Amino acid sequence: MNGILIMKTKVSLLLVLSLMFFTFLFPVGAEEQNQKAIIKVEGLYCPFCSYGLEKQVKKIKGFQSVQINIKEGTAEIEFKPGVKIQEKAILTAVEDAGFDLDGVQWLKEDREK
């Protein structure tokens, strides 16, 4: 009788430890989120300007999407999760498009400087 109780206790303990281990490895609700940056661009006045900027921003490693607001002179850039984005890459893209970068606001802090 005692042997069966000890065996049940060991099995229960093993199940609890296994559950804890897998919960640690695969946490629920901890998916990586996309990184977003809103950039302020000087000289962004027309749809052709917007197209030129979009073309260069798409070359940044990890790029996912971009929404450009000509009226405000801003672009919201979304990057793939897990990719380290360097602000220098954004600066280079903006300058290659012929504009000046006036600021970067990160909506998720997960990048290299």
Q: What is the pLDDT of residues 48-95, one digit of tens each?
A: 999 999 999 999 999 999 999 999 999 999 999 988 989 999 999 999
Instruction: Give a yes or no: residue 48 inside a domain.
Output: yes
Judgement on whether residues 47 and 91 belong to the same structural domain of the protein: yes
Instruction: Give a yes or no: residue 75 inside a domain.
Output: yes
Residues 6+ apart with CB under 8 A from 105: 37, 38, 39
Q: pLDDT value at position 34?
A: 79
Q: pLDDT value at position 26?
A: 57
Cα torsion 62, 66, 96, 107 to 10°: value is: -70
Q: Which amino acid is at 71?
A: K
Query: How many structural domains comprise the chain?
Result: 2
Provide the β-strand partners of residue 104. Answer: 39
Judgement on whether residues 92 and 46 belong to the same structural domain of the protein: yes
Instruction: Give a yes or no: residue 96 inside a domain.
Output: yes
Global confidence as pTM: 0.67
Instruction: Give a yes or no: residue 113 inside a domain.
Output: no
Domain hosting residue 12, numbered range: 1-30
| CB-CB contact of 34 with 67 (8 Å) | no
Q: What is the pLDDT of residues 6-29, one digit of tens each?
A: 766 665 666 555 666 555 555 554
- CA nearest to 56, candidates 91, 30, 24: 91
